[in-house]
Amino acid sequence: MASTDQSKVSIDLVIDPQTQKILFAQAGKDFVDFLVSLLSLPTGTIIQLLTKSSSSDIGMVGCLGSLYTSIENLSEIYLQPKYKNSEEYHSLLKPKNLPGVPRLLSNLVQSVKKKLYTCPGCDGTASHDPGAVCPYCETYMDQEMEIVDPSYENEEENRGGFVTCGPIFLIMDDLYVEPISSRVLIDLLTKFNKQMSDLQIKKIDISMIEGLKLLQASLQCKTDILNTVFLNVES
């Protein structure tokens, strides 16, 4: 269920041709890991993702976006001394990303990922601020450091995420997730009074934009999320 494109994840939409509505979706590890990881995103990161998006139709719901912008624009003269140009202040607006984020989420948070800088002549010091001064040689710490992903013993661990490889999961229109089994599928078809042969399967690739729209919809809606975000996405 995963695309070979490292910036996209693919899922299968199960559509009722009569109503042109998505009944549920089928997806593998990559998409489910993305959904689970939405639960762990800091509020500051969510606001950044939705307000800094290049897509004009994506924005932060409610007034948190306005609050974030006002604090971002607040002059340092109004801050406590310990917060002026400090790690605590930067962590509030740009929280650290969690390790082992899945493929699609890592692309979503890339734009708000912090960089590390060090002194060209000294080892053992690092800062998120390229204007910081090295405490040892008093030169600017403006040399960007290379951040290396951790190594793992096997491919399963290397992929990280939350669920294991292999199983296919069912995702309902309210984002309820469970592994697909014969019993689950039969119960679901009975609920909709459908046979699998009556339904249409549409495979789509989810890009960063659809990922952001899904994040936004999950904050706004309790149901109809798959139809809101994916119904008109080209296969």
Pairing of strands 177-179, 169-172: antiparallel
Farthest-apart Cα atoms in the chain, separation = 74
At residue 152, the pLDDT reads: 43
CA pair distance 196, 15, nearest whole angstrom: 10
| pLDDT tens for each residue of the chain, 235 residues long | 444 344 578 999 999 999 999 999 999 988 988 888 887 777 877 877 787 665 556 666 667 677 777 777 877 777 777 776 667 667 777 766 555 555 555 555 554 455 778 888 887 788 877 778 888 888 888 888 776 655 445 444 445 677 888 889 999 999 999 999 999 999 999 999 999 999 999 999 988 888 888 988 888 888 899 999 998 887 6
- Is residue 192 a contact partner of residue 23, using CB atoms and an 8 Å limit? yes
Is residue 214 packed enough to be buried (19+ CB in 10 Å), middle (13-18) or exposed (0-12)?
Answer: buried
At residue 48, the pLDDT reads: 76
The per-residue DSSP string of 12-81 comes to EEEEETTTTEEEEEEE-HHHHHHHHHHTT--HHHHHHHHHS-S-TT----TTHHHHHHHHHT--GGGS-G
Nearest to 217 by CA among 174, 163, 177: 174
**Domain residue spans in the chain?**
9-98+167-231, 110-148
CA pair distance 132, 142, nearest whole angstrom: 8
How many other C-beta atoms lie within 10 A of the C-beta of residue 196? 11
At residue 23, the pLDDT reads: 96
CA pair distance 157, 159, nearest whole angstrom: 5
Pairing of strands 117-118, 143-144: antiparallel
At residue 103, the pLDDT reads: 57
- Is residue 193 a contact partner of residue 17, using CB atoms and an 8 Å limit? no
